[in-house]
Amino acid sequence: EIMLQQTQVATVIGYFQRFVDAIPDLPALANAELDAVLTLWSGLGYYSRARNLHRAARICLAEHDGELPTNIESLQALPGIGRSTAGAILAQAHGQRFAILDGNVKRLLCRFHGVEGWPGLAAVQKQLWSLAERHLPESQLVDYTQAQMDLGATICRRSHANCGACPLASDCIACREDRVSLLPTRKPAKALPARETMMLLIEDDQGRLLLERRAPTGVWAGLWSLPEAQHQTDAERWVARHCVNARSLPAPERFSHVFSHFRLNIEPRRWAIGAAKSAIADDDSHRWIEPGALDTVGLPQPVRRLIRSLIPDSGPPGAIMRA
């Protein structure tokens, strides 16, 4: 359920299987290092979900005898578990009578009842929760909960809704009034602000790249990434301060990565160095890594793609294409 927040089922399946193969139960998750959890999550995005999941597991181990709570209040008190996720867990795992309101169910209810207004607005959310609870059956909660999500995901889709195959079409206001494409009401358009950064690709004489751990809060919190600078002058000063015999190399082209609330414009800069000064060593803040070992650390997806763009299609494993 946590992985499915903000992410489609098709994307989640592979990540989920790898995750449970490595960390099969709640005590194992609680006892795992956060680095291991973030590595398994790497590429799935919204990394606060992984950090919250790890924190929640440790709380369960300390306060709930290593079990996930089965009452709504205790479940919602855990980090990263809101009202809909808690309802989905209790309905599907325990058959308890709780509503859910994920994206698929919001879309289904907006169309079926002709609900106007962006679902992110508090007043619309309140209306949708009331409708979701009104429709709850007295029994078969497991089937009902899954059916809602499946209907929204496969029939009442965001685009190209298959109303001809929908069992609710005859009573659906949006279908009857030909407003399926208009509901739910879209979020008011707003230009994304842009941020700029330079990512520094520092390669040593063994073909390894330097990684730097992100701060524990903010974007990509706690993940490994590349050193960053705001301007070319800052980048050159960073290299001069930390590296010996640095030689500038051609770098990949500038690219952008879009978050939910801003666009990050990334300008790669690249150096080959003879050695690193003693201030940089393998520790909790910096790490040298062979490009072929990227899957062993938690990296943001755009950083992983950037590094992989340097690896040739042929040649020894882990080698970087030198200019």
Q: What is the mean pLDDT of each run of 10 residues along the chain (323 residues)?
A: 88 95 96 94 92 97 95 96 96 96 96 97 97 96 95 95 97 97 92 94 90 92 94 91 87 92 94 73 82 88 91 43 37
- Strand pairing partners for 268? 199
Tokens read off for 249: 């190399």
Which pLDDT does position 279 carry in this prediction? 57
1 is catalytic: yes
- Strand pairing partners for 286? 212
Which pLDDT does position 315 carry in this prediction? 34
Catalytic-role residue among 1, 212, 236, 290: 1
Which pLDDT does position 155 carry in this prediction? 97
Is the bond preceding 252 in cis, omega lying within 30 degrees of 0? no
Q: What's the CA gap between 37 and 47, in Å, rounded? A: 10
Beta strands in 94-229 (DSSP E): 194-203, 209-213, 224-225, 228-229
List of domains in the chain: 194-308 (3.90.79.10)
- The string of DSSP codes covering 254-319 is PEEEE-SS-EEEEEEEEEE-SEE-TT--SSSSEEEE-GGGGGGS---HHHHHHHHTTS-SSSSTT-
